[in-house]
Amino acid sequence: MLSLELIFAVLVLISALFSLLSIIAAHRYLAVRPPVLRRTAPISILKPLAGLDRDLEANLRCFFEQDYPCFEILFAVRDESDPAFAVVEKLRREYAKVPSRVVLTGEPPYANRKAYSLERMLGVASHDLVVMSDSDTRATPSLLKTIAAEFQDPAVGLATCPYRAVGANFWSKLEAAGLNSDFIAGILAARMLEGMRFAVGPTIAARREVLETIGGFARLKDYLAEDFMLGRLAADAGYGVILSSYVIEHHLAAAGVRQNFAHRLRWLRSTRRSRPLGYLGQVFTTTTPLSLAMVAADWRLWPAAAAAIALRIAAAYVMAARVLRTGVSALLLVEDLAAFGFWIGGFFGRTIVWRGARYRLMRDGRFAPVHSASSTISTRRLLARPSSVSFDPRGRLEPSLETESRDSGIA
C-alpha cells in the first residue's frame, strides 16, 4: 500500500511539473507576433445586458470609443424597465455618430438567457464579423483593430480573448488572484498540448459563417458554459480557433461572501460537466495545499514543498505580469487554499442559482430550470429534441424571429 507521504509527494511533483509546463506554454503564446492590420472589415459588437453591473456605464463607454472606422454596437435587454436600458440610451445619445441599436428580447424561451440575447442580436446585425462581449468587460480603443488583424487570416473562424480579472472587494480580489494565475495557465497549457478546441468568455469574436454552421446561438441554449461549447462546436466543424493576442479586462462583481461562494461553485460545477478530465487535472494547480499536506505527512519533505511553491509563484508571475500585464496578487497563496476547497465542493451538488433562478445541471453540461415533477419531465423531453434555426438566404433569422428594436444609423 502506498504511504500517505508518497501520494502527496507524487501530487506535488506533478503540480510542480505543471507550473513548469505553464511557463513554457506562456512563452510560446507570447512568441506569436500579432499581425499588422492591412484591411478593415466591418464589425458588429453584441452586448447582452441584464441589470446594473458594477461601473456599467464605464464598461460600455469604452466600446463606443473604439479606434476603428466601421463598427456597430447592438445591445440586448429584456424590456425598457431593465435599469441597463437607461444607461445604454444615455450613451447612445452621447455617441450619436456611432451606429447602435437596442434589442428588446422579451422573456427568453429557454434556460440560457445570454444565448437567447445573442441569437436575437445576431438576427439584426449588419456585419459578418461579430464580437460578443459581456457587460462587465472593459477594453482599450485598440480591441477591434487587433481582432480585425487576426481575422485577416481566412483560416481563423473564432477567436477567444484571454482576460485580466479585476476585483472590487476582498472576495472578488481573491477570485481574481486565481483567474490571473491558474485559470489562464490551464488555457495556455491546453493550447500548447491540444490546440484551441474551446472558447472562454467574456469576449469572443467569430465569423457569421461559423455561427450559422454550428446552428446559431440556439444550439447553445441548454448549456450553462455556452462560451466553452461555442469554441468546441466551431473546432469540431473544422474552423480555426485561436487565443487572441488581445487581453480584455473583466471586472468582477463586489459580491458578499455567500454570493461569491455560490458564483464560484456554479462555475466549477459547470466546468466539471463540460470538461470532466480537465476538472480532475485542476488539482495540480493547487500547489500550496498539496505541499502543506505533504509536509504534514512527513516534515522532512519541506525543502521539496518550498521548491514547488517557489515554482508556483514563478509561474503565477509569468501569467500575471507577462501574459495579462498585471501584478501578482498578495492573496495568491491564500487563493490556493480557497481554490482547493472550492474544487472539492465542485464534486457535490447538481443545482445552481443563476440570476435569481434555480437550475439543475445535467451530466453533459446542459442545464434546465427546477420545476415541479411534471414540468421537469416536459423539460427533459424538450432537451432531448434537436434544436434548429431557420435562416433566410442572407443568413438572417426568418421574419418570425425578428425582434423589436431601436435603430440609430444602421444601414
> Is 34-257 CATH 3.90.550.10?
yes
User: Quick one: what percent of the chain has pLDDT higher than 90?
Assistant: 72
Which of 5-14, 84-93, 227-236, 359-368 has the lowest average pLDDT?
359-368
Task: Give the contacts of 6 (CB within 8 A, at least 6 positions apart).
Answer: none
Q: Is the pLDDT of residue 394 over 50?
A: no
Which pLDDT score is estimated for 391?
32
Q: How confident is the model at residue 389 (pLDDT cuts 50, 70, 90)?
A: very low
* CA-based end-to-end distance of the chain: 72
Asked if residues 140 and 161 have their Cβ atoms less than 8 Å apart, the reply is: no
**∠ CA(221), CA(226), CA(227), 5° rounding?**
150
Which pLDDT score is estimated for 125?
97
Q: What is the pLDDT of residues 213-258, one digit of tens each?
A: 999 999 998 888 899 999 999 999 999 999 999 999 999 988 889 8
Q: What is the pLDDT of residues 16-71, one digit of tens each?
A: 999 999 999 999 999 999 999 999 999 999 999 999 888 999 999 999 999 999 99
Q: What is the pLDDT of residues 93-102, one digit of tens each?
A: 999 999 999 9
261-285 mean pLDDT:
88
* Mean confidence (pLDDT) of the chain: 88
Asked if residues 137 and 59 have their Cβ atoms less than 8 Å apart, the reply is: yes
Asked if residues 270 and 201 have their Cβ atoms less than 8 Å apart, the reply is: no
Task: Give the contacts of 248 (CB within 8 A, at least 6 positions apart).
Answer: 133, 137, 138, 139, 143, 161, 162, 163, 164, 202, 203
Amino acid at 32: V
Which pLDDT score is estimated for 167?
94
Pairing of strands 43-48, 129-133: parallel
Which pLDDT score is estimated for 123?
95
Q: Is the pLDDT of residue 393 over 70?
A: no
Element (DSSP H or E) covering residue 404: strand 404-408
CA 345 to each of CA 26, 40, 115, 369: distance values in angstroms, whole numbers, following the listed order: 29, 47, 27, 21
Q: What is the pLDDT of residues 134-187, one digit of tens each?
A: 999 999 999 999 999 999 999 999 999 999 999 999 999 999 999 999 999 999
Cross-strand bridge partners of residue 248: 163
Q: Is the pLDDT of residue 292 over 50?
A: yes
Task: Give the contacts of 41 (CB within 8 A, at least 6 positions apart).
Answer: 70, 127, 128, 129, 148, 151
Q: What is the pLDDT of residues 182-207, one digit of tens each?
A: 999 999 999 999 999 999 979 999 99
Q: Is the pLDDT of residue 316 over 80?
A: yes
Cross-strand bridge partners of residue 43: 71, 129
For the chain, which residues make up each domain, given as ranges?
4-28+275-345, 34-257, 354-385
Q: Is the pLDDT of residue 388 over 70?
A: no
Which pLDDT score is estimated for 2?
65
Cross-strand bridge partners of residue 72: 44
Taking the C-alpha atoms of residue 267 and residue 225, their distance in angstroms, rounded to an integer, is: 8
